[in-house]
Amino acid sequence: MKRNRPGAKPDKFSAVLFGVALFVLAAVSPGRAEPFSPTFQQRALLSEFAGDGRVALIYHVRIADSSAFDAWQKSVREQVEQVGGRRVYAGQTDPVAWEGRQVDVVWIDELPNAAAALAALEQATRTSTGAADGLSVLAIDPVPSIVPAMLRRAAVIAHFVAPLDATPSEEGGGEPEMLNPAIWPNSEAMRFAREQDPLRSFFMYNLNKVRERAAYDRPIEEDPDVSGEEAYRRYGALMGVLRRGGYPAFMGSVVGHVAGMEDELLADDWTQFILVYYPERRRFFSMIGSDAYAARLHHRDAALERASLRFTTPWPEFDPQVPPANDDE
């Protein structure tokens, strides 16, 4: 068979064959057809998901053009609803970067199964051009929807029966000492949050990476040799949230990072996600400034290796305090 000599130019057939090979490699490559489209490995997280039930997608978006973004997010929502899914939440994040990453909007779409979630994700990323400057998506295996519904009712009862005053001066109002930047918002984020309307409702985005084994840095009365999950249960901030009228509105375990750059922070091995509603910002600061909270905080420190907390202001339709619009008017 005739071969090209070293340094000789390839003949036309070889050049065409090389071009075809490059095309095929590009087509089957785990790289992205679009800037934010899932890679092969990211698609596999959903296609191999063992759960038979619902899957939620948390979109983290940096907006490129507001009008294009509005049209895009509406089209994504329509597709989700067409396959029997729903948008659980959408809100603006406080404009403070987290470890160098800025996110403008967070929204959560819940799909009936993993196949529907993958199809919705593919469509959303494919049509994001011009609407998003940055896009990263996490897949969540949510708890049954009855759980947040029951917690919401429990918040009403707890706040009525045993309310806690939201005035920080009556409960301390300071921030926990020695805040660990790996598991708390940075000082800029906390400062900005305190400067907002203290009576405005918000949802706290909690993304946690729970340690396999708890890491206590001080002697405790309880057994220190426990799992990170057990330490987090000991932290037990739920009652304090409920008594202030708040409640976990959505929660679940993290399936994985299914769209976005694979070397970004959201691609870490996160464990759980909790979206917590507070009827007023000041109630959150009242809680973390209380003596009761300070007494439990070491359990949270021992439980978590890393956390991302973001203050988010709900769009009106996702704010429990805003009456739904009357389309008949």
- Written as one string, the DSSP assignment of 178-223 is S--TTTS--HHHHHHHHHS-TTS-EEEEEEEEE-SB---SS--SS-
Give the per-residue pLDDT at 287. Answer: 92
Per-residue pLDDT of the chain (329 residues; tens, 9 = 90+): 333 333 444 444 444 433 443 333 334 444 444 678 999 999 999 988 876 689 999 999 999 999 999 999 999 999 999 999 999 999 999 999 887 788 999 999 999 999 999 999 999 999 999 999 999 999 999 999 999 999 999 999 998 888 886 665 444 445 666 567 789 888 899 999 999 999 999 999 999 999 999 999 889 999 999 999 999 999 999 999 999 999 999 999 999 999 998 888 899 999 999 999 999 999 999 999 888 898 999 999 999 999 999 999 999 999 998 876 654 43
Structure tokens at 64: 């490129």
Give the per-residue pLDDT at 215. Answer: 96
Structure tokens at 209: 């990476």
Task: State the angle between helix axes of 228-235 and 291-303 in degrees (0 to 180), rounded to the nearest 10.
Answer: 170
Mapping DSSP to helix (H, G, I), strand (E, B) and coil, where does residue 137 land? strand
Q: Are 162 and 76 in contact (CB under 8 A)?
A: no
Residues in CB range of 308: below 8 A, 6 or more apart: 98, 205, 206, 207, 265, 266
Fold of the domain built from segment(s) 146-251+260-317 = Alpha-Beta Plaits (3.30.70)
The DSSP element (H or E) to which 282 belongs, if any, is helix 281-288
Give the per-residue pLDDT at 23. Answer: 37
In 3-state terms, the chain is what percent helix, strand and coil (to 5)?
40, 25, 40
CA nearest neighbour of 226 among 318, 299, 175, 166: 299
d(C-alpha 52, C-alpha 142), whole Å: 12
For CA atoms 121, 122, 126, 127, the dihedral sign is negative
Give the per-residue pLDDT at 176. Answer: 62
Structure tokens at 323: 């009456």
pTM assigned to the model:
0.86
Structure tokens at 299: 């359990």
- According to DSSP, the residues that pair with 227 across neighbouring strands are 213
* Domain spans, the chain: 40-142, 146-251+260-317
Give the per-residue pLDDT at 2. Answer: 34
Dihedral of CA atoms 137, 143, 146, 150 in degrees, nearest 10, equals -100
**CA distances to 97, 174, 246, 270, 315 from 322, in Å:** 28, 30, 15, 32, 10
Residues in CB range of 82: below 8 A, 6 or more apart: none
Structure tokens at 192: 């900005």
DSSP 11: P
Q: Are 289 and 191 in contact (CB under 8 A)?
A: no
Give the per-residue pLDDT at 166. Answer: 65
Residues in CB range of 41: below 8 A, 6 or more apart: 30, 262
The DSSP element (H or E) to which 242 belongs, if any, is helix 238-243
Per-residue model confidence as pLDDT tens digits over 39-58? 999 999 998 887 668 999 99
For CA atoms 283, 313, 144, 261, the dihedral sign is negative
Fold of the domain built from segment(s) 40-142 = Alpha-Beta Plaits (3.30.70)
d(C-alpha 318, C-alpha 127), whole Å: 24
> Which residue shows structure tokens 């679940």?
252
d(C-alpha 17, C-alpha 9), whole Å: 14
**Are 40-142 and 146-251+260-317 the same fold in CATH?**
yes
